[in-house]
């Protein structure tokens, strides 16, 4: 746990680089309040306490936890807050899973989160649950130019946008443009069927189908996906992994070791693994762009791409993004931008909470 005094202005007080429309905006932003915001994912959960005052959010406590080490969100939150935690006026969480009727079952972690559970467990009246990708989309309103890096150039055209994030899983969301601002909406598009484009893809599909049954894009464009692509290529190329290659798995997960070797160029199978990962990321980002007609751009977030950005072949990404036949002219127009700020979903939950809290 750390203490910070970083300040963010609410989007109604300043003009955001990426303008977002919040569902219940307040015109009176002078009420003081304490807000707990969180980004709950399959691997880690990040929490921050904010003070809302005069249209500003001030971070004064933050912590990062291993999600699966806790039996419930309430237990995790109590660990973060301590025994004598302050009176909290509201809680807003972005959670990796579909939110329905005030409940969300984690996709890649074993417990359910409910509004009622948080109200009772933390003694707080106002609680809101967002899908983590919806929170990611709202978090775009908090970003500055230093938080963004162009991966593929495009045209400056108003229109819908989309965001895709690769980490423990693969999340996707849309941002509907209605003339002045974006209105985020959640999807579960990462669980749609992977669509092979060539013989190698078909062989990989067979490998994954035997292992999992249903083969979604998340099975490839994620941390576990990187590991599966690597294992498939080792078997296909008949290239055993070097002795002791994963000896540090206790300290780092396998995907990090694979991508680190790829970035160093120290192992050809790892290099090919990263190339396939980038190809599949580009292909699914393009499909998401077509489904949402995202002429306003595609944003790529998550915990993987920002860390491997220097090793991504931009020409390879571009070639596989613009590969949809008659729709290629449209895809050429669409810019693709990497979100470098790892706290985007957390900031999105905080902004949404601050703009909506009763």
Q: What is the pLDDT of residues 7-66, one digit of tens each?
A: 666 665 467 889 888 755 554 554 688 999 999 998 899 999 998 887 778 888 899 999
CB 313 within 8 A of CB 101: no
Token pair for residue 326? 């008659």
- Answer yes or no: are the C-beta atoms of 109 and 68 closer than 8 Å: yes
Q: Do 350 and 320 share a domain, yes or no?
A: no
Token pair belonging to 127: 């609680």
Query: CA 194 to CA 201: how far, in whole Å?
Result: 9
Q: Would residue 182 count as lying in a domain?
A: yes
DSSP 220: T
The answer on 63 and 179 residing in a single domain is no
Residue 93 sits in a domain whose CATH number is 3.30.420.40
Instruction: Give yes or no: residues 281 and 153 share one domain.
Output: yes
- Could you identify the residue written with the tokens 């994030």? 165
For residues 310-326, give the mean pLDDT.
Answer: 97
Residue 249 has pLDDT above 60, yes or no: no
40 pairs with which residues across the strands? 45, 95
137 and 213 housed in the same domain: no
Distance CA 132, CA 148 (A): 19
- Do residues 300 and 147 make contact, with C-beta atoms less than 8 angstroms apart? no
Phi, psi of 136 (to 5 degrees): -55, -45
Rg of the Cα atoms in the chain: 21
Contacts of 111 (CB under 8 A, 6+ apart): 70, 71, 72, 73, 105
Domain assignment present for residue 1? The answer is no
**141 vs 249, higher pLDDT:** 141
Q: Compute the average pLDDT of residues 304-326.
A: 96
- Contacts of 138 by beta carbon, 8 Å cutoff, 6+ apart: 20, 22, 130, 184, 348, 349, 351, 352
Structure confidence at residue 335 (pLDDT): 98
Q: Is residue 108 part of a domain?
A: yes
Whether residue 207 is contained in a domain is answered as: yes
Residue 258 pLDDT > 80, yes or no? yes
Averaged pLDDT, 237-244: 84
Asked whether residue 356 carries a pLDDT value surpassing 50, the answer given is yes
Return d(Cα 238, Cα 144) in angstroms, integer.
Answer: 46
SS3 call for 81: helix
355 close to 25: Cβ distance less than 8 angstroms: yes
Same domain, yes or no: 163 and 129: no
Average pLDDT, the chain: 91
Please answer whether residues 217 and 192 qualify as being in contact, where contact means their C-beta atoms are separated by less than 8 angstroms.
yes
Tell whether 26 is covered by a domain.
yes
How many domains does the chain fold into? Answer: 2
d(CA 246, CA 118): 39
Q: Is residue 185 part of a domain?
A: yes
Closest CA to 290 of 182, 172, 200, 153: 172
Tokens of 167: 């980490």
Q: Give how far the C-alpha of residue 42 lies from the chain's centroid of Cα atoms, to the nearest Å.
A: 11
Please indicate, yes or no, whether residues 250 and 287 belong to a single structural domain of this protein. yes
Higher pLDDT, 198 or 244: 198
Segment 258-276 shows an average pLDDT of 96
Q: Is residue 2 part of a domain?
A: no
Is 254's pLDDT higher than 70?
A: yes
User: Do 160 and 134 sit in the same domain of this protein?
Assistant: no
CATH number of the domain to which 192 belongs: 3.40.367.20
Judged against a pLDDT cut of 90, whether residue 212 lies above it is answered with yes
Task: Say whether both 186 and 122 belong to one domain.
Answer: no
- Structure confidence at residue 57 (pLDDT): 83
- Give the model's pLDDT for residue 6: 64
219 & 180 share domain: yes
Residues 268/271/275/277 CA torsion (nearest 10 deg): 120
Residue 156 and residue 210 share a domain: yes
312 with 218, same domain: the answer is: yes
Q: Is residue 322 part of a domain?
A: yes
The owner of tokens 């751009």 is 297
Residue 172 belongs to what domain range? 145-339
pLDDT tens, residue by residue, 166-203: 999 999 999 999 998 999 999 999 999 999 999 999 99
Residues 273 and 208 in one domain: yes
Q: What is the mean pLDDT of residues 147-168?
A: 96
Residue 330 has a CB neighbour count (10 Å cut-off) of 16
């Amino acid at each position: 746990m750390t203490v910070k005094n970083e300040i963010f202005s609410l989007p109604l007080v300043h003009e955001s680089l990426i303008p977002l429309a919040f569902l219940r905006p307040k015109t009176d932003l002078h009420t003081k309040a304490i807000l707990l915001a969180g980004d709950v994912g399959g691997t880690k959960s990040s929490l921050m306490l904010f003070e809302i005052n005069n249209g500003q959010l001030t971070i004064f406590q933050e912590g990062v936890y291993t999600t699966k080490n806790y039996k419930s969100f309430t237990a995790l939150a109590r660990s973060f807050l301590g025994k004598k935690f302050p009176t909290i006026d509201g809680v807003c969480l972005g959670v990796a899973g579909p939110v329905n009727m005030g409940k969300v079952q984690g996709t890649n972690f074993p417990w359910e989160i409910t509004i009622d559970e948080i109200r009772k467990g933390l003694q707080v009246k106002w609680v809101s649950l967002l899908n983590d990708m919806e929170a990611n989309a709202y978090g775009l309103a908090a970003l500055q130019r230093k938080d963004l890096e162009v991966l593929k150039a495009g045209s400056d055209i108003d229109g819908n946008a989309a965001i895709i994030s690769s980490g423990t899983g693969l999340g996707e969301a849309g941002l509907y443009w209605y003339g002045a601002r974006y209105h985020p909406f959640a999807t579960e598009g990462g669980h749609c069927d992977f669509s092979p484009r060539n013989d190698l893809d078909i062989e990989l599909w067979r490998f994954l189908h035997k292992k999992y049954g249903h083969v979604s894009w998340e099975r490839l464009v994620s941390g576990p996906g990187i590991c599966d692509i690597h294992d498939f290529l080792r078997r296909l190329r008949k290239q055993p992994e070097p002795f002791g290659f994963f000896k540090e798995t206790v300290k780092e997960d396998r995907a990090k070791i694979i991508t680190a070797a790829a970035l160093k160029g120290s192992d050809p199978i790892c290099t090919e693994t990263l190339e396939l990962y980038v190809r599949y990321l580009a292909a699914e980002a393009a499909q998401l762009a077509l489904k949402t007609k995202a002429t306003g751009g595609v944003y790529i977030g998550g915990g993987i791409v920002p860390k491997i950005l220097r090793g991504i072949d931009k020409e390879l990404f571009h070639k596989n993004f613009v590969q949809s036949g008659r729709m290629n002219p449209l895809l050429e127009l669409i810019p693709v931008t990497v979100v470098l700020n790892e706290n985007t979903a957390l900031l999105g939950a905080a902004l949404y909470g601050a703009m909506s809290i009763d």
